[in-house]
Structure 1
Amino acid sequence: MKTHRKLTIITLLLSALLVTSACSKTDSAATGTASTGGKDTKEVATVSEVRYPLSLTFASLDPHLVPTGGVANIDRHIYEQLVAFNTKYEAIPVLAESVDISNDGKTYTFPLRKGVKFHNGKEMKAEDVVASLNRWKEITARAKTSIGASNFEAKDEYTVVLNLSQPSNDIPSQLASYLQFAAIMPKEVIAGADAKGVKEFIGTGPYKFVEYKQDQYVHVAKFDDYKSVDKPADGVTGKKEAFIKDIYFDLVPDTSTMFSSFLAGNYNFADITVDNLNQVKSLPDVEVQKVLSSDYNVVFNKKAPITSNLKFREAIAAALDVEKILVGSTSDPNLIQLNPSLINKDSTDWYSEAGKEKYNQKNPEKAKQLLKEAGYNGEELKLLTTRDSGGVFYNPTVLVKDQLEKIGVKSKFEVYDFTTMISKRSDPSTWDIYVGSFALQSSPSQLLYLGKTYGWPEDEKLQNLVKATTTALTKEDKRKAADALQAYEYEYLAAIKIGDFATYKAVRKNVTGYNYFEGPILWNTKVLK
């Protein structure tokens, strides 16, 4: 008989920061404890409708299909996973009762919660989980790295099993990630999906999908039959209560428009630029939070004629002054963090300083010599970017372009709206360099730019080293695997790490019970009238 142990993946420690959204209608409220504002609130008038602005455009709400965390800001209210991250980046059961792992790390067993309803009234069972996760792992390159050819299987109506050909330590992290996250849907919805995605948006979350008004808003409404776990709320885990009846996620790609609407009182939440910071701090009814959220990386297209040349990539790595790029992109030194590691410093299992001597070289003379060795003849590079999302992509791309020009590399912008940029990014004929904002990840195997389909780093040694990080089971083996992978990545240069950065968020003080963790979480939230 096999013995089992419980696995909890503990990595990057971030604090859940408190933010929220806007309001219009009035309702009577039950007792609640304020997360924003910090005081207990009893029998007060609250709003039943909230409008929440997102600097976002997208092609699909299909959580399996979209390789960006932005859509998860909406989808996490509609869908749930077997496990999800708490604020310590531990993978905690949500739709699963537990995660049981065999001693050899090859067999994962997921007993399911019973009585959980989909938004169409159907009870969630193993057949739905199996259909959802087998589709997810075929679409998601990061999951394929860990799972390989194995499939999820139904042991019985309420038990799902995954049998792997070799040990893997990061299955819970992959299932908990919100990038192309492993949402559970009815098997009939999965069966009806095509290349453009699912036709219906049906999950088990506290809110159900109502309407998507193209490029304007997504409307979700309270799901009256939602079955919550009875544990303290933490990150995207624990107790979830839908106090707000209707949420409209307004799609506002222009941050200046969002900020103007926030000042006018249309929203209780907004992203704040450095230029607007002092103005917001002067408002007595508003709190400002700083959220460490992402890192910048320069990603190379390894199928393009110029950037497939390793000497050319080495030249760019030698030239870049990453601190200038970070400061210039944010205009606030308090928002940046120099970090040579592929993973955040708080991740004790995976943080590495291997190869750090090649980080932030800012050596233009070395770069020029490497360009000669690369045989560079003045060809013009295509820099893929967008002006959407408040300049998060465009601003660092401008600064990278400026530094490239100083060593004699010619380049031009290929500027699109956000959705088109994401589409173009999957076409190797349309770009050479992409400067991206990437959500902080809990393990190396989740880094998109190391996956074969993202910039196409098809180097066999690199992929084997990524795989080795997923099969290391002890802390010592994880450390060795992380160091080996990072040392080689600084040689291969699938991407160049620029650094970590934070953003400012504003939330009005009449909001209670609301947390921001890798995006807005509107369940458990009340907006006081």
Structure 2
Amino acid sequence: MTVTRRELLRASALLGAGGALLGASGGITACTTGDTGRQALNAALGPRRRGGVLRIGVTGGGAQDTLDPHHPPTYPDQARVSNLYEPLFGRDAAYNIEPVLAESLEPAEQGRTWTLRLRADVSFHNGKPLDADDVIFTLRRIADLPGTGAAALRVVDMAGLRKIDARTLRIPLTVPYALFQDDLAQYYMAIVPTGFDLAHPVGTGPFRYGTFTPGRISSFPRNDHYWRADQPYVDELVIVDFPSDDARVAALLSGDVQAIDNVPPGQINDVKAAGATVMASESGAWTPFTMRVDKAPFNDVRVRQAFRLMVDRDQMVSQALAGQGRIANDLYAPFDASYASDIPQRRQDLAQAKSLLRQAGQAGLRVELVTSSGIGSGAVEAATLFAQQAKGAGVTIAVRTVDSATFYGSDYLNWVFAEDYWYTRNYLPQVAQGSLPDAPYNECHFNDQRFTSLINRARGELNPAKRAQLLKDAQRIEYDTGGYIIWGFKNQLDAYTNKVTGFVPDRNMPLSSFQFRTISFV
């Protein structure tokens, strides 16, 4: 790609968590861990310039784009809902839980009942004050949707929700659940007002609804009555969908947008040479290969085990991610205190893979692998590299690359062999999204009764040590028989021009978890 813009790097020393800034010199500026990287950054920057239209280029998107805060499956959807709406709790840059619309959440009855206290003086975009009725309405809306958050709220006794006063709510659970706050701290758990109408979306976020053209562009004027009185800094936020990596990078280098997510590792040098800053955030994000355990050939556990043994994980990280990541062990949630780090690291073993395939009657196997650049940086490269590695075990993988709209269209979650992306999460929230029989994104169609039993027991276990052991036992089942090939955790690579400031490395989601309220022009 030809680089047309040549600007000097505006180097900034930022405070963040597990990240670095890559400048034009090629060096890496490390970032230290703070309580909340975004707060520390804003304090260090001092007075900020106000005004301007901030344009952000985001990976993927298509005709099925949505503004639904409780079912945002793609990067552009997540960027939009993160600025229109807000949850009760969120995550800081170091992936610690922090209050957002909530002031506190206190357990009783050994975690079977929770009392929620709301922040004062918060209003929706239409002027309605936030109160407990909105939380009740939201929780019931989420539970009634076949989307992202419903699985996490199955433990809530919806009929028993009780408003104590305008700012206080009693939330009863059907079983004790010590980690309930973690489920509420997800980006798809945003609070909406009673009577919410998706045709006229209203939230409490730093930006309000302006225009929305699915698959193309959306605009959000500043919320002048935002409860964080000094934010946001820009007058308007514009989010542009970019299914193509090259088009997204070109838009940054030409100045059409001020920041982009998911910089392809192979284009880091082009971006830096143009004077932009590449922000690398160490995260728990993963781009797995997904094998449907209920469809041939992957309904034979020996085939799944063989495919995991075909992967050269070090080569995946060094080539597909250009070194911007670290190897994984077919397990997710690396920042969880219960992460099963004691399970031996799986390594490439082509001889054993061949033996397993022979035992399964699948020697010389041929399969199709579906991927898309809309999955994120390194996905297509990883698929291509895995196809080369699989040849060593006598397996032929035909890589089929489709656009984002096709991948996340009607066949999504039904591909027999594909890829996908997941952000950083702790173990139980991730299981609720992707690994239980009724999980909304169970793309592997995994259904193991012992696994489900362990998860249910862990949810109700209040003793941290006992809960950790149950979760480690569950991880062992997924390691041995699950449908994921989790070869690495990738650094989140984003970039921004020297015209804006306020981004900080973040362990959670791209572009400082899409918190554009903190961004200003220099």
TM-score, length-normalised on structure 2?
Answer: 0.82
Q: Any conservation in 2 of the 1:80–1:184 contact (CA below 8 Å)?
A: yes
Where structure 2 has 5 or more consecutive residues not aligned to the other structure, the ranges are 1-15, 23-38
CA distance in 2, matches of 1:408, 1:416: 25
Aligned with 2:210: secondary structure?
strand
Asked whether 1:267 is paired with 2:236, we answer no
CA distance in 2, matches of 1:424, 1:84: 31
Query: Which range moves more in the overlay, 312-321 or 62-71?
Result: 62-71
Q: Any conservation in 1 of the 2:53–2:235 contact (CA below 8 Å)?
A: yes
Aligned with 1:188: secondary structure?
coil
Aligned with 1:490: secondary structure?
helix
1:352 — aligned with what? 340
Residues 97-121 of structure 1: per-residue CA shift (max 9 Å, x gap): 2111115111111122344222222
CA drift of 1:489 comes to 1.4
Aligned with 1:478: secondary structure?
helix
Asked whether 1:182 is paired with 2:182, we answer no
CA distance in 1, matches of 2:343, 2:481: 11
Residues 281-308 of structure 1: per-residue CA shift (max 9 Å, x gap): 345x543321124223222112213212
1:243 — aligned with what? 233
The partner residue of 1:163 within 172, 194, 206 is 172
Aligned with 1:437: secondary structure?
coil
CA distance in 1, matches of 2:390, 2:434: 21
Q: What is the RMSD computed on CA atoms of the aligned residues? A: 3.0
Asked whether 1:501 is paired with 2:509, we answer no
CA drift of 1:472 comes to 3.3
CA distance in 1, matches of 2:250, 2:505: 22
Q: Any conservation in 2 of the 1:514–1:523 contact (CA below 8 Å)?
A: no
Asked whether 1:489 is paired with 2:478, we answer yes
The partner residue of 2:359 within 373, 378, 389 is 373
The partner residue of 1:90 within 93, 96, 100 is 96
Structure 2 vs 1, CA of residues 318 and 274 (structure 1 numbering), >3 Å: closer, same or farther?
A: closer
1:104 — aligned with what? 110
Q: Any conservation in 2 of the 1:96–1:112 contact (CA below 8 Å)?
A: yes
2:378 — aligned with what? 392
CA distance in 2, matches of 1:492, 1:75: 35
1:218 — aligned with what? 218
Where structure 1 has 5 or more consecutive residues not aligned to the other structure, the ranges are 1-12, 20-32, 193-197, 229-238
Query: Which range moves more in the overlay, 474-483 or 52-61?
Result: 474-483
CA drift of 1:398 comes to 1.8
Superposition pairs for residues 452-471 of structure 1, below 5 Å? 452=437, 453=439, 454=442, 455-471=444-460
1:303 — aligned with what? 294
Q: Any conservation in 1 of the 2:218–2:239 contact (CA below 8 Å)?
A: yes
Residues 477-509 of structure 1: per-residue CA shift (max 9 Å, x gap): 233123212212112223122111114333334
CA drift of 1:66 comes to 2.6
The partner residue of 1:451 within 427, 436, 445 is 436
Structure 2 vs 1, CA of residues 450 and 77 (structure 1 numbering), >3 Å: closer, same or farther?
A: same
2:182 — aligned with what? 173
Aligned with 1:117: secondary structure?
coil
1:329 — aligned with what? 320
2:30 — aligned with what? none
The partner residue of 2:388 within 398, 402, 412 is 402
Structure 2 vs 1, CA of residues 176 and 296 (structure 1 numbering), >3 Å: closer, same or farther?
A: same
Aligned residues: 474
CA drift of 1:126 comes to 2.1
1:10 — aligned with what? none
1:314 — aligned with what? 305
1:256 — aligned with what? 246
Q: Any conservation in 2 of the 1:126–1:160 contact (CA below 8 Å)?
A: yes
1:53 — aligned with what? 57
Amino acid across the alignment from 2:460:
T
CA distance in 2, matches of 1:292, 1:451: 27
1:233 — aligned with what? none
Structure 2 vs 1, CA of residues 150 and 374 (structure 1 numbering), >3 Å: closer, same or farther?
A: farther
CA distance in 2, matches of 1:17, 1:76: 23
Asked whether 1:150 is paired with 2:157, we answer yes
Structure 2 vs 1, CA of residues 282 and 318 (structure 1 numbering), >3 Å: closer, same or farther?
A: closer
Structure in which a larger fraction of residues adopt strand: 1
2:6 — aligned with what? none
Q: Any conservation in 1 of the 2:458–2:471 contact (CA below 8 Å)?
A: yes
Superposition pairs for residues 13-52 of structure 1, below 5 Å? 14-15=17-18, 35=41, 39-41=45-47, 46-52=50-56
Structure 2 vs 1, CA of residues 288 and 319 (structure 1 numbering), >3 Å: closer, same or farther?
A: closer
Q: Any conservation in 1 of the 2:112–2:172 contact (CA below 8 Å)?
A: yes
Structure 2 vs 1, CA of residues 342 and 444 (structure 1 numbering), >3 Å: closer, same or farther?
A: farther
Q: Any conservation in 1 of the 2:115–2:170 contact (CA below 8 Å)?
A: yes
Q: Any conservation in 2 of the 1:36–1:509 contact (CA below 8 Å)?
A: no
Residues 427-485 of structure 1: per-residue CA shift (max 9 Å, x gap): 53xx2212223212123432443232412111111122233343333332233123212
Amino acid across the alignment from 2:340:
S
Residues 341-389 of structure 1: per-residue CA shift (max 9 Å, x gap): 7345544x122224325x22x1112112211222327664332221335
The partner residue of 2:331 within 342, 356, 362 is 342
Structure 2 vs 1, CA of residues 376 and 103 (structure 1 numbering), >3 Å: closer, same or farther?
A: same
CA distance in 1, matches of 2:421, 2:305: 21
CA distance in 1, matches of 2:47, 2:429: 43
CA drift of 1:57 comes to 0.4
Asked whether 1:72 is paired with 2:57, we answer no
Aligned with 2:125: secondary structure?
coil
CA distance in 2, matches of 1:395, 1:14: 27
Asked whether 1:521 is paired with 2:515, we answer yes
2:31 — aligned with what? none
Aligned with 1:247: secondary structure?
strand
Structure 2 vs 1, CA of residues 412 and 339 (structure 1 numbering), >3 Å: closer, same or farther?
A: closer
CA distance in 2, matches of 1:47, 1:501: 34
CA distance in 2, matches of 1:73, 1:114: 26
Q: Any conservation in 2 of the 1:353–1:483 contact (CA below 8 Å)?
A: no
CA drift of 1:250 comes to 1.3
TM-score, length-normalised on structure 1?
Answer: 0.81
**Percent of residue pairs identical:** 20
Aligned with 1:203: secondary structure?
coil
CA drift of 1:217 comes to 0.9
Structure 2 vs 1, CA of residues 144 and 396 (structure 1 numbering), >3 Å: closer, same or farther?
A: same
Q: Any conservation in 2 of the 1:18–1:36 contact (CA below 8 Å)?
A: no
CA distance in 2, matches of 1:312, 1:240: 56
Q: Any conservation in 1 of the 2:260–2:494 contact (CA below 8 Å)?
A: yes
Aligned with 1:207: secondary structure?
coil
Aligned with 2:368: secondary structure?
strand
